[in-house]
Amino acid sequence: MGTIERLLLTVVLAAGLASGPAAAAESTPPLPSWNDTQARQRILEFVEAVTKPGSDDFVPPEERIAVFDNDGTLWSEKPLYFQLLYAIDYVKTNVGKHPEWRDRQPFQAVLENDQKALAASGEKGIVELVMASHAGMTTSEFDASVREWLKTAKHPEKKRLYPELVFQPMLELLAYLRDNDFSTWIVSGGGVDFVRTFSEDVYGIPPQQVVGSGIEMAFEMRGDGPVIVRQPKVAFIDDKAGKPVGIQRHIGRRPIAAFGNSDGDLQMLQWTAAGEGKRLMLLVHHTDAEREWAYDRESLVGKLDAALQQAKADGWVVVDMKGDWKVVYPFEGGAE
């Protein structure tokens, strides 16, 4: 290599021209924690098709919207949605300030670990728990409360911090899509401000790219300045038929790729599938009782039935967690 070439190369490298997805792909193949089965192949084929300039399937970067369910798709959701476990821990931690909870359901059931009484309180009981732990605070107070919990609370069975229970193969998928100029979005049945407390650190998804359920909020001018106070009233449920509506409200553009794991994601996948051009619809099927959990049609949390039928009928990708993933959680050690 002559002097000029060497100099040019230095400039090119300094300018970052030799980095980026293409060059990176040559050194490390994408999705290293995925076995090289059909699921991985179909993801790679889709991304190559929509990003290749001149291809019939080419989609410009601003339209490369990929939406991800959170519970059961990006992290685990057993034995209960983690947000509900936060609500339960909140009640246990804050009963000192609320002595009335000791003999009022569903709080008493939570404090006495009475699963039966908790189940008996039904959906109404769950809403009461969530409201007690999610409303009344300002947005800053709620944010601080959840962040503290995420730093300290341990999962009852896995004995791990909750942010450790994310799926390594999905983290790689998020990064791979972003390397290919997709914008990655969470569209969760969970509370939008709950998910935002960890989405940026854990998934690389900034708060403005999180769509979720929400409670009413009120702006208030207080002595030391304005605050936004969370109200004990549900404003929007971003689940099932609410997911395409949440997407329209927040994004205003139809996704070209959608990732879910339960019947709560069916309408989001249908809405994505119905757009023009090449699309990718994918379901994570929880088949690994050893490393994670195995469940589908009969599960109360994360029930997967109608969506699995439509996936089979319409040829959507179904990930077999046991067979398709080399590792489930990051702490199992990275892929080879």
Q: Please, what is the end-to-end C-alpha distance for the chain in angstroms?
A: 35
Smallest distance from its own copies to CB 23, Å: 14
Query: CA torsion 309→311→314→316, rounded to 10°?
Result: -170
Q: Is 158 or 250 the residue whose CB approaches its own copies more closely?
A: 250
CA distances from 244 to 40, 188, 205 (A): 26, 11, 19
Smallest distance from its own copies to CB 146, Å: 13
Q: Is 44 or 131 the residue whose CB approaches its own copies more closely?
A: 131
| Spatial distance between the Cα atoms of 65 and 250, rounded to a whole number of angstroms | 12
Residue spans of alpha helices (H) in the chain: 3-14, 20-27, 38-51, 82-94, 107-111, 115-120, 122-134, 139-152, 168-179, 192-198, 242-250, 266-273, 306-314, 321-324
Task: Please give the radius of gyration of the chain, using alpha carbons only, rounded to the nearest integer.
Answer: 22
What are the residues binding its own copies (CB under 8 A)?
3-4, 7-8, 11-12, 15, 17, 62, 139, 183, 192-193, 196, 206-210, 214, 217-219, 221, 225-226, 228, 235-236, 241-242, 244-245, 248-253, 267, 270-271, 274
Q: Is 210 or 327 the residue whose CB approaches its own copies more closely?
A: 210
Smallest distance from its own copies to CB 258, Å: 12
Q: Is 40 or 279 the residue whose CB approaches its own copies more closely?
A: 279
Closest CA to 213 of 252, 245, 259: 245
Q: Which residues contact 307 (CB under 8 A, 6 or more apart)?
A: 260, 262, 263, 265, 266, 269, 283
Smallest distance from its own copies to CB 56, Å: 22
Which pair of tokens denotes residue 287?
């088949």
Smallest distance from its own copies to CB 267, Å: 6
Residue spans of alpha helices (H) in 222-283: 242-250, 266-273
Q: Is 13 or 120 the residue whose CB approaches its own copies more closely?
A: 13
Smallest distance from its own copies to CB 203, Å: 14
Q: Is 186 or 319 the residue whose CB approaches its own copies more closely?
A: 186
Smallest distance from its own copies to CB 81, Å: 20
Question: φ and ψ at 211, to 5 degrees?
Answer: -110, 135
Q: Is 4 or 300 the residue whose CB approaches its own copies more closely?
A: 4
